Amino acid sequence: MTEKADRDKIRRQNRSVLLQALRRIGAQARIDLGRETRLSPATVTSITSDLISEGIVTGIEDPEQKTRATRGRPRALLSLDGGAARVLAVKLSVNKIEFALADYAGAVLARGGAGFASETTTASSFGETLVKAARGFLDGIAGGVRPSIISIAAQGIVDDSAGTVAWSPAFSERHVPVVAPMEAAFGVPCRLSNDTNMIAEALHQVDPERYGGTFAVIFIDYGVGMGLFVDNRLFVGETGAAAEIGHANHIPGGALCRCGRRGCLEAYLGDYAIKRVALGLDPQTQPARVDEETATIPDLVHAAEAGNRGAREAFSSAGTALGYALARLSATLDPRRIAVTGGAMPAWPLLAPAVEAALREALVDDLQPRAAIDPIDWEEDLVLRGTLARGLHELDTRVFAEQAGSGLALHE
């Protein structure tokens, strides 16, 4: 039984590798798929034959060969059947719900959004708000659409085992149910993830060679988060709350965090934390009060570059906090790459010297990080792209694989 389970696991993994390659680079001949994925010709032939019979991969003629005067049999390519499924991606943030609908090939078909009142929405009422907004988005698409799977990303701490947002700046209450209302309304699987995890998913999807193996993403913006891949798999822990670095303690009893506790890393590195130091406010000043200040991170960058002492101190202390956090990450997991992104990236040249100094101070010589640190300009679309990728991965490895194994039809 164990041997069979292992074989099934390997086959599912190989299926996923082939499907992701087709999604990333487009139609390919079997021989080229083998080179791209490093799978044997026999494995590629066997799995793609199954995928064709299941109706999620189709054979097409090479369009380039038609334009050339060539003799012989036309070269056959394999391509994903975009119509095999639809993925609905949902992003939850402060006062905002964003939607994206994609086909099975990953092409985005429609985008939309809706607002809600973060301060007044209750845990018991948000499910109805979310379902209503999703129905409105889907009904507004020509012909109406029923998704095959729903993938949700939320700010804050999520509990994917319970299907709830345990804590988030997007909600005034804790333990907000989102999965159960959506599954009940649409009758399809629904997956919940932390938004920074979805940034890691997006980077892995676009460039698995660079962002593969064990790597991390640190997100610095309204809050601070981390996405983590271990051995080419998104690592979320038992409940989905793993890698929640922003609310790990940095200094016991320290500065006040938005979550209500004191000393979290976010209380030294989040945008409100940087503003709090730059403006000379007490470390126990409520983050909500700091948020009311009109200064922005770009404003503080300009001030620091002009020599403003408070702004320079703010970025230096934030960089030190980040450096110590990266030191703990490096000593624990030894990632080969750490990407840093978010709305604070205009400040990276001011953060970097303190980050490097803290890393040198925090780690003994033999543990100095070998990871490359990649500062990445922030793109809002990264979260939604990763959320779509997570939904497609679930279809590849679970939903379609299980349906194929049970003999169920994959198309309605």
Please say if the pLDDT value at position 407 is more than 50.
Answer: no
pLDDT at residue 74, as a whole number: 61
Cβ proximity of 230 and 333 under 8 Å: yes
Q: What is the pLDDT of residue 240?
A: 78
Q: Which of 134, 144, 195, 149 is nearest to 169 (CA)?
A: 195
Position 68 scores a pLDDT of: 54
Phi-psi bin for 227: left (phi > 0), alpha (psi -120 to 50), beta?
A: beta
Please state which CATH number belongs to domain 209-375. Answer: 3.30.420.40
Note the pLDDT of residue 159.
Answer: 94
DSSP 8-state class, residue 255: S
DSSP secondary structure letter of residue 28? B
Question: What sign for the dihedral angle of Cα 70, 73, 74, 75?
Answer: negative
Q: Are 270 and 155 in contact (CB under 8 A)?
A: no
CATH T-level fold of 2-80: Arc Repressor Mutant, subunit A (1.10.10)
d(CA 203, CA 222): 21
pLDDT in tens, 310-357: 999 999 999 999 999 999 999 899 999 999 999 999 999 999 999 999
Would you state the pLDDT for residue 338?
96
Q: Which of 8-12, 38-42, 231-235, 354-358 has the lowest mean pLDDT?
A: 8-12
Q: Which CATH entry fits the domain spanning 85-188+383-406: 3.30.420.40, 3.10.20.30, 3.40.50.300, 3.40.350.10?
A: 3.30.420.40
* Low-confidence winner among 87-96, 103-112, 236-245 (lowest mean pLDDT): 236-245
Which among 17, 15, 26 has a CA at the least distance from the CA of 62?
26
Nearest alpha carbon to residue 393 among 177, 202, 186: 202
Angle (CA) 210 42 213, round 5°: 20
Task: Tell me the average pLDDT of the chain.
Answer: 91
pLDDT, residue 67, reads 54
- Mean pLDDT for the stretch of residues 218-229: 94
CB 374 within 8 A of CB 338: yes
pLDDT tens for 46-81 read 999 999 999 999 998 876 655 555 555 667 899 999
Measured CA to CA, the distance from residue 131 to residue 174 in angstroms comes to 19
Q: How far apart are CA 394 and CA 12, in angstroms?
A: 11
pTM of the predicted model over 0.85: yes
CATH 1.10.10.10 in the chain, residue ranges: 2-80
> What are the structure tokens assigned to 250, written together?
């940095």
Helix axes 30-37, 2-25, angle to 10 degrees: 110
- Which residues sit opposite 88 in a β-bridge? 101, 150
Angle formed at CA 238 by CA 233 and CA 240, multiple of 5 degrees: 70
Token readout for 107 is: 């092409």
Bridging pattern class, strands 57-61 and 76-80: antiparallel
Q: What's the Rg (C-alpha) of the chain?
A: 23
Residue-wise pLDDT for 10-21, tens only, equals 888 899 999 999
Comparing 369 with 82, which gets the higher pLDDT? 82
Asked if residue 367 has pLDDT above 70, the reply is no
The pLDDT-based confidence of 4 (bands split at 50, 70, 90) is low
Residues of the chain with CATH 3.30.420.40: 85-188+383-406, 209-375
- Residue whose tokens read 């009311």: 292
Helices of type H across 232-307: 266-269, 271-278, 287-291, 297-305
Contact 109, 90 (CB under 8 A): no
> What pLDDT is stored for residue 408 in this prediction?
39
Largest CA distance in the chain: 78
Percent of the chain, pLDDT > 90?
Answer: 79
- Ordered strands of the 176-177 beta sheet: 157-159, 164-167, 176-177
Return the number of other C-beta atoms located less than 10 Å from residue 403's C-beta. 15
What band does 412 get if pLDDT is binned at 50, 70 and 90? Answer: very low
Q: Structure tokens of 201?
A: 């998913």
